[in-house]
Amino acid sequence: MIIHKNEPFLLFYSSNSLENLLSTESRLSAEPKSSGNRFQSVYSSRFNVYSEPGRDKVYPQLEVGVAIENRLPYLKVRKDKYATPHDELTMNYPPISIELPAWVQPLIAAKGTFFPSIEERMALVIELAARNVTEKTGGPFGAAVFSIQGQLIAPGVNLVTSANCSILHAEMVALALAQKTLGRFDLSDNGKFSFDLAASTEPCAMCFGAIPWSGVNRLLCGARDADARAIGFDEGPKLPDWQAALQARGITVIRDLLRPEAIATLQAYAASGGAVY
Protein backbone atom coordinates (compact mmCIF):
# COMPACT_ATOMS: atom_id res chain seq x y z
CA MET A 1 0.00 0.00 0.00
CA ILE A 2 1.15 3.47 -0.81
CA ILE A 3 -0.05 6.61 0.84
CA HIS A 4 0.73 9.59 -1.25
CA LYS A 5 0.19 13.12 -0.17
CA ASN A 6 0.43 16.47 -1.85
CA GLU A 7 1.37 18.52 1.14
CA PRO A 8 4.03 17.84 3.71
CA PHE A 9 1.51 17.02 6.33
CA LEU A 10 -0.37 13.88 7.08
CA LEU A 11 -2.40 13.02 10.10
CA PHE A 12 -3.07 9.52 11.27
CA TYR A 13 -5.82 9.58 13.72
CA SER A 14 -5.14 6.57 15.84
CA SER A 15 -3.55 3.99 13.65
CA ASN A 16 -0.65 3.56 11.30
CA SER A 17 -2.37 0.90 9.22
CA LEU A 18 -4.39 1.80 6.18
CA GLU A 19 -7.24 -0.54 6.97
CA ASN A 20 -7.59 0.84 10.42
CA LEU A 21 -7.31 4.33 9.04
CA LEU A 22 -10.17 3.67 6.64
CA SER A 23 -12.32 2.13 9.32
CA THR A 24 -11.50 5.05 11.54
CA GLU A 25 -12.60 7.30 8.69
CA SER A 26 -15.95 5.68 8.54
CA ARG A 27 -16.48 6.17 12.21
CA LEU A 28 -15.51 9.79 11.94
CA SER A 29 -17.21 10.54 8.68
CA ALA A 30 -19.73 12.94 10.15
CA GLU A 31 -19.10 16.41 8.80
CA PRO A 32 -17.36 18.54 11.37
CA LYS A 33 -18.90 21.86 12.10
CA SER A 34 -17.36 24.47 9.89
CA SER A 35 -18.11 27.34 12.18
CA GLY A 36 -18.86 27.89 15.80
CA ASN A 37 -16.73 28.22 18.83
CA ARG A 38 -16.06 24.58 19.59
CA PHE A 39 -14.60 23.66 16.23
CA GLN A 40 -11.87 25.38 14.40
CA SER A 41 -10.31 24.07 11.25
CA VAL A 42 -6.63 24.78 11.38
CA TYR A 43 -5.44 23.37 8.10
CA SER A 44 -6.14 20.46 5.86
CA SER A 45 -4.56 18.31 3.23
CA ARG A 46 -5.73 15.77 0.71
CA PHE A 47 -4.22 12.53 -0.34
CA ASN A 48 -5.16 9.56 -2.38
CA VAL A 49 -4.99 6.05 -1.06
CA TYR A 50 -3.63 3.71 -3.67
CA SER A 51 -3.87 0.04 -4.04
CA GLU A 52 -0.94 -1.84 -5.49
CA PRO A 53 -0.07 -0.74 -9.04
CA GLY A 54 -2.04 -2.62 -11.66
CA ARG A 55 -5.03 -3.29 -9.47
CA ASP A 56 -8.17 -1.54 -10.47
CA LYS A 57 -9.49 -1.02 -7.00
CA VAL A 58 -10.22 2.59 -6.15
CA TYR A 59 -10.44 4.22 -2.79
CA PRO A 60 -12.17 7.37 -1.75
CA GLN A 61 -10.07 10.43 -1.91
CA LEU A 62 -9.59 11.44 1.65
CA GLU A 63 -9.52 14.91 2.97
CA VAL A 64 -7.59 15.09 6.16
CA GLY A 65 -7.89 18.01 8.44
CA VAL A 66 -6.55 18.99 11.75
CA ALA A 67 -9.16 20.57 13.86
CA ILE A 68 -9.63 21.30 17.44
CA GLU A 69 -12.72 20.10 19.12
CA ASN A 70 -12.34 19.07 22.69
CA ARG A 71 -8.66 18.90 21.82
CA LEU A 72 -9.18 15.98 19.44
CA PRO A 73 -8.11 15.85 15.81
CA TYR A 74 -10.70 15.20 13.11
CA LEU A 75 -10.69 13.21 9.93
CA LYS A 76 -13.13 13.71 7.08
CA VAL A 77 -13.83 11.54 4.05
CA ARG A 78 -14.91 13.16 0.84
CA LYS A 79 -17.14 10.32 -0.24
CA ASP A 80 -18.15 12.10 -3.42
CA LYS A 81 -14.64 12.00 -4.84
CA TYR A 82 -12.88 8.93 -6.05
CA ALA A 83 -9.36 8.59 -7.22
CA THR A 84 -7.95 6.00 -9.55
CA PRO A 85 -4.45 4.72 -9.00
CA HIS A 86 -2.98 6.87 -11.76
CA ASP A 87 -4.69 10.09 -10.79
CA GLU A 88 -2.62 13.09 -10.03
CA LEU A 89 -3.08 14.39 -6.57
CA THR A 90 -4.23 17.83 -7.48
CA MET A 91 -7.82 18.97 -7.18
CA ASN A 92 -7.19 21.83 -9.57
CA TYR A 93 -9.71 20.90 -12.24
CA PRO A 94 -9.38 22.87 -15.45
CA PRO A 95 -11.91 25.54 -16.37
CA ILE A 96 -14.22 24.67 -19.24
CA SER A 97 -14.63 27.07 -22.09
CA ILE A 98 -16.57 26.75 -25.31
CA GLU A 99 -14.80 27.97 -28.38
CA LEU A 100 -16.23 27.96 -31.86
CA PRO A 101 -13.95 26.72 -34.65
CA ALA A 102 -11.96 29.46 -36.36
CA TRP A 103 -13.90 29.14 -39.62
CA VAL A 104 -17.23 30.20 -38.04
CA GLN A 105 -16.44 33.88 -37.61
CA PRO A 106 -15.52 34.54 -41.26
CA LEU A 107 -18.56 32.58 -42.42
CA ILE A 108 -20.87 34.73 -40.29
CA ALA A 109 -19.06 37.87 -41.38
CA ALA A 110 -19.73 36.95 -45.01
CA LYS A 111 -23.40 36.16 -44.40
CA GLY A 112 -24.31 39.07 -42.20
CA THR A 113 -26.22 38.72 -38.97
CA PHE A 114 -29.82 39.30 -40.02
CA PHE A 115 -31.96 36.43 -41.28
CA PRO A 116 -35.53 37.61 -41.84
CA SER A 117 -37.17 34.30 -42.80
CA ILE A 118 -37.14 31.04 -40.92
CA GLU A 119 -35.88 29.33 -44.09
CA GLU A 120 -32.85 31.63 -44.12
CA ARG A 121 -32.21 30.80 -40.48
CA MET A 122 -32.38 27.11 -41.28
CA ALA A 123 -30.10 27.53 -44.30
CA LEU A 124 -27.48 29.09 -42.03
CA VAL A 125 -27.50 26.25 -39.50
CA ILE A 126 -27.38 23.63 -42.25
CA GLU A 127 -24.37 25.42 -43.71
CA LEU A 128 -22.77 25.43 -40.26
CA ALA A 129 -23.39 21.68 -40.06
CA ALA A 130 -21.97 21.07 -43.52
CA ARG A 131 -18.86 23.16 -42.87
CA ASN A 132 -18.34 21.43 -39.54
CA VAL A 133 -18.06 18.20 -41.51
CA THR A 134 -15.74 19.47 -44.23
CA GLU A 135 -13.57 21.29 -41.70
CA LYS A 136 -13.51 18.16 -39.50
CA THR A 137 -14.32 20.14 -36.37
CA GLY A 138 -17.15 17.95 -35.11
CA GLY A 139 -20.35 16.15 -35.97
CA PRO A 140 -22.80 17.11 -38.75
CA PHE A 141 -24.95 19.39 -36.68
CA GLY A 142 -25.41 23.15 -36.62
CA ALA A 143 -27.65 25.41 -34.60
CA ALA A 144 -28.15 29.08 -33.85
CA VAL A 145 -30.16 31.39 -31.65
CA PHE A 146 -31.94 34.28 -33.37
CA SER A 147 -34.15 37.01 -32.09
CA ILE A 148 -37.68 36.44 -33.30
CA GLN A 149 -37.09 39.25 -35.80
CA GLY A 150 -34.07 37.39 -37.20
CA GLN A 151 -31.02 38.90 -35.58
CA LEU A 152 -28.38 36.24 -35.09
CA ILE A 153 -27.47 36.11 -31.42
CA ALA A 154 -25.11 33.13 -31.47
CA PRO A 155 -24.22 30.25 -33.78
CA GLY A 156 -23.31 26.78 -32.60
CA VAL A 157 -21.79 23.66 -34.05
CA ASN A 158 -21.28 20.21 -32.65
CA LEU A 159 -17.95 20.09 -30.84
CA VAL A 160 -18.20 16.67 -29.21
CA THR A 161 -15.22 15.05 -30.86
CA SER A 162 -13.04 18.13 -31.25
CA ALA A 163 -13.52 19.28 -27.64
CA ASN A 164 -13.87 15.79 -26.13
CA CYS A 165 -17.09 16.81 -24.45
CA SER A 166 -20.28 14.83 -24.88
CA ILE A 167 -22.56 17.73 -23.95
CA LEU A 168 -21.33 20.06 -26.68
CA HIS A 169 -24.09 19.43 -29.17
CA ALA A 170 -24.74 22.29 -31.56
CA GLU A 171 -27.89 23.37 -29.73
CA MET A 172 -26.15 23.41 -26.36
CA VAL A 173 -23.26 25.43 -27.79
CA ALA A 174 -25.61 27.96 -29.42
CA LEU A 175 -27.70 28.33 -26.27
CA ALA A 176 -24.68 28.72 -24.01
CA LEU A 177 -23.05 31.28 -26.28
CA ALA A 178 -26.31 33.20 -26.66
CA GLN A 179 -26.77 33.29 -22.90
CA LYS A 180 -23.18 34.41 -22.44
CA THR A 181 -23.60 37.06 -25.14
CA LEU A 182 -26.77 38.48 -23.61
CA GLY A 183 -25.57 38.02 -20.05
CA ARG A 184 -28.56 36.08 -18.80
CA PHE A 185 -29.45 32.43 -18.37
CA ASP A 186 -33.04 33.07 -19.38
CA LEU A 187 -32.83 34.47 -22.89
CA SER A 188 -36.42 35.68 -22.72
CA ASP A 189 -35.61 37.72 -19.61
CA ASN A 190 -38.72 36.48 -17.91
CA GLY A 191 -40.88 36.70 -21.01
CA LYS A 192 -39.83 40.13 -22.24
CA PHE A 193 -38.13 38.88 -25.42
CA SER A 194 -38.68 36.10 -27.95
CA PHE A 195 -36.04 33.90 -29.54
CA ASP A 196 -35.73 31.07 -32.02
CA LEU A 197 -33.44 28.13 -31.66
CA ALA A 198 -32.75 26.71 -35.10
CA ALA A 199 -31.27 23.22 -35.28
CA SER A 200 -30.18 21.42 -38.42
CA THR A 201 -31.54 18.19 -36.89
CA GLU A 202 -34.28 17.78 -34.32
CA PRO A 203 -32.90 17.83 -30.78
CA CYS A 204 -31.70 14.71 -29.04
CA ALA A 205 -32.89 13.82 -25.55
CA MET A 206 -30.31 16.08 -23.90
CA CYS A 207 -30.98 19.13 -26.07
CA PHE A 208 -34.72 18.59 -25.80
CA GLY A 209 -34.25 18.66 -22.05
CA ALA A 210 -32.23 21.87 -22.16
CA ILE A 211 -34.64 23.88 -24.28
CA PRO A 212 -37.36 24.69 -21.69
CA TRP A 213 -34.87 26.44 -19.39
CA SER A 214 -33.07 28.33 -22.12
CA GLY A 215 -35.66 31.01 -22.67
CA VAL A 216 -36.30 30.33 -26.38
CA ASN A 217 -39.88 30.48 -27.60
CA ARG A 218 -39.62 28.63 -30.85
CA LEU A 219 -37.69 25.65 -32.15
CA LEU A 220 -36.95 25.40 -35.86
CA CYS A 221 -35.87 21.96 -37.06
CA GLY A 222 -34.40 20.71 -40.35
CA ALA A 223 -33.83 16.96 -40.44
CA ARG A 224 -35.92 14.71 -38.21
CA ASP A 225 -34.36 12.79 -35.38
CA ALA A 226 -35.22 9.66 -37.36
CA ASP A 227 -32.88 10.95 -40.07
CA ALA A 228 -30.03 11.13 -37.57
CA ARG A 229 -30.88 7.68 -36.24
CA ALA A 230 -30.87 6.39 -39.80
CA ILE A 231 -27.13 7.06 -40.06
CA GLY A 232 -26.49 5.62 -36.62
CA PHE A 233 -26.61 8.58 -34.21
CA ASP A 234 -28.09 7.91 -30.80
CA GLU A 235 -30.75 10.48 -30.10
CA GLY A 236 -31.46 9.16 -26.63
CA PRO A 237 -34.70 8.37 -24.82
CA LYS A 238 -36.94 11.17 -25.99
CA LEU A 239 -40.61 11.44 -25.19
CA PRO A 240 -42.70 10.14 -28.10
CA ASP A 241 -44.71 13.36 -27.89
CA TRP A 242 -41.71 15.64 -27.34
CA GLN A 243 -43.14 18.35 -29.56
CA ALA A 244 -46.35 18.45 -27.55
CA ALA A 245 -44.28 18.60 -24.36
CA LEU A 246 -42.48 21.69 -25.66
CA GLN A 247 -45.69 23.24 -26.94
CA ALA A 248 -47.22 22.73 -23.49
CA ARG A 249 -44.43 24.90 -22.13
CA GLY A 250 -45.10 27.63 -24.65
CA ILE A 251 -42.39 26.65 -27.14
CA THR A 252 -43.58 26.39 -30.73
CA VAL A 253 -41.99 23.63 -32.82
CA ILE A 254 -41.65 23.97 -36.58
CA ARG A 255 -40.35 20.85 -38.32
CA ASP A 256 -39.02 19.84 -41.72
CA LEU A 257 -37.55 23.19 -42.73
CA LEU A 258 -35.23 22.44 -45.69
CA ARG A 259 -35.29 18.84 -44.56
CA PRO A 260 -33.77 17.39 -47.77
CA GLU A 261 -30.76 19.71 -47.50
CA ALA A 262 -30.39 18.86 -43.81
CA ILE A 263 -30.52 15.13 -44.55
CA ALA A 264 -27.92 15.54 -47.28
CA THR A 265 -25.48 16.93 -44.70
CA LEU A 266 -26.05 13.96 -42.41
CA GLN A 267 -25.51 11.57 -45.27
CA ALA A 268 -22.36 13.36 -46.43
CA TYR A 269 -20.96 12.95 -42.95
CA ALA A 270 -21.82 9.26 -42.87
CA ALA A 271 -20.23 8.81 -46.29
CA SER A 272 -17.07 10.57 -45.10
CA GLY A 273 -16.65 7.97 -42.38
CA GLY A 274 -17.03 10.45 -39.54
CA ALA A 275 -17.41 9.20 -35.98
CA VAL A 276 -20.98 8.28 -35.07
CA TYR A 277 -21.95 8.28 -31.41
Binding site for Zn ion (CB under 5 A): 169, 204, 206-207
Q: Could you confirm whether 31 is annotated as catalytic?
A: no
How far apart are CB 255 and Zn ion at their closest, in Å?
16
How far apart are CB 201 and Zn ion at their closest, in Å?
8
25, 171, 202, 235: the active-site residue: 171
- In sequence order, the β-bridge partners of residue 44 are 65
Cβ neighbours of 153 (radius 10 Å): 21
Positions marked catalytic:
171
